[in-house]
Amino acid sequence: MRFGIILSLLSIVFFFSCVPHKKTLLLKSSDEQAVVALPLKVGDVYYKVQVEDLIDVKVASPDVESMQIFNPGGGGGGESSFYLNSYQVDREGNIQFPLLGDIYVLGLTTTEIKDLISEKLESYFKQMTVAVRLVSFKVTFLGEVNNPSTISLYSEHTNFFEALSKVGGLSQFANSRRVKIVRKDGGEAEVYWVDISTQDFLSSEYFYLQPNDIVYIEPLKAKAVRGNLTLWTFVTGAITLTLLVVRTFR
């Protein structure tokens, strides 16, 4: 009788420690057979430069010697050279650029900065091209991912799932309906809650990440339950073993 009760308790423990299949799905739709076309807000997600951002600017022209002033690091050196030879946006929103002095770039996209520098250099060089890109594009993943860490991204249009794959994806107990994104907006940090379990997330303004975003993924309640039940499993297992020993030597 007692042995049957113990087995029943163990069965309950096993049942409650399992995560329902539906809670592990992503990008769910009300009609799984339908073909859904959702707009991706690519045009709305171009990052606008903020204070302390690092910008890599390269100027190319047939007059190679004249270009040395703009490209002191040359073309090699890897990622570290971009940091050493990049331009940091100061508190006034300027970068200090050779020949041109202070250029106000706060709130501009990299494309707008490229056009601005190109326009200013036209009076000095007849043939030249300008390339601008962000250097300081890092995103931090915390919570229920398999490898919580800060990662470097090299595209201004990296979507949430591309970045998520770099930290090993969601853990078993990730709550895909409760994802917190902390995003810097000017001098403030704003917190947004998103649901990545439905297809509507694809057309969300948070589908594309921005530099210095912090992503925190909450655990399911099942994780807390399993943590508590682990202790109960140990206790009931010990009781079961004790009862078996008692019955054996009775």
Q: Which residues 6+ apart lie within 8 Å of 127 measured at CB?
A: 61, 62, 63
- 127 in Cβ contact with 62 (< 8 Å): yes
What local confidence, expressed as pLDDT, does residue 4 receive? 53
Degrees (nearest 5) of the Cα angle 135, 142, 166? 55
- Rounded Cα distance, 49 and 107, in Å: 5
7 pLDDT higher than 60:
no
More confident residue, 132 or 44: 132
More confident residue, 234 or 107: 107
What local confidence, expressed as pLDDT, does residue 35 receive? 47
Structure tokens at 27: 């990008």
- Are residues 72 and 183 located together in one domain of the fold? no
- Are residues 142 and 214 located together in one domain of the fold? yes
R_g of the chain, CA atoms, integer Å: 27
- Are residues 192 and 181 located together in one domain of the fold? yes
- Rounded Cα distance, 206 and 239, in Å: 51
Determine the 3-state secondary structure of 246 from DSSP.
helix
What local confidence, expressed as pLDDT, does residue 46 receive? 76
Average pLDDT over residues 94-123: 93
Condensed to tens digits (0 to 9), the pLDDT of residues 164-195 reads 999 999 999 999 999 999 998 767 788 999 99
Structure tokens at 3: 């042995």
- Are residues 171 and 97 located together in one domain of the fold? no
- Rounded Cα distance, 229 and 221, in Å: 12
Condensed to tens digits (0 to 9), the pLDDT of residues 11-70 reads 555 555 555 545 554 545 555 545 445 555 554 567 888 888 889 998 988 877 777 788
Q: What percent of the chain has pLDDT over 70?
A: 65
229 pLDDT higher than 50:
no
Domain-located, residue 4: no
205 pLDDT higher than 80:
yes
What local confidence, expressed as pLDDT, does residue 153 receive? 85
- Are residues 129 and 155 located together in one domain of the fold? no
- Are residues 117 and 73 located together in one domain of the fold? yes
Domain-located, residue 234: no
- Are residues 70 and 120 located together in one domain of the fold? yes
DSSP tag of 99 = T
DSSP tag of 30 = S
Q: Please report how many Cα atoms fall inside a 13 Å half-sphere around the Cα of residue 29, on the Cβ side.
A: 10
Task: Name the domain count of the chain.
Answer: 2
Domain-located, residue 28: yes
The domain containing residue 25 runs over which residues? Answer: 21-45+137-219
The enclosing domain of 70 has a CATH number of 3.30.1950.10
- Are residues 28 and 149 located together in one domain of the fold? yes
Residue type, 154: Y
Structure tokens at 42: 């690519």
Cite the DSSP H helix spans in the chain: 2-17, 64-67, 78-84, 110-121, 160-165, 221-249
Q: How many residues are there in the chain?
A: 250
What local confidence, expressed as pLDDT, does residue 64 receive? 77
- Are residues 204 and 161 located together in one domain of the fold? yes
- Are residues 182 and 126 located together in one domain of the fold? no
pLDDT band at 243 (very low <50, low <70, confident <90, very high): low
Strand ranges of the sheet holding 214-219, from the earlier edge strand across to the other edge: 149-152, 138-143, 214-219, 174-185, 188-194
- Are residues 149 and 191 located together in one domain of the fold? yes
- Are residues 211 and 151 located together in one domain of the fold? yes
The enclosing domain of 25 has a CATH number of 3.10.560.10
- Rounded Cα distance, 231 and 113, in Å: 59
Pairing of strands 138-143, 214-219: parallel
What local confidence, expressed as pLDDT, does residue 63 receive? 78
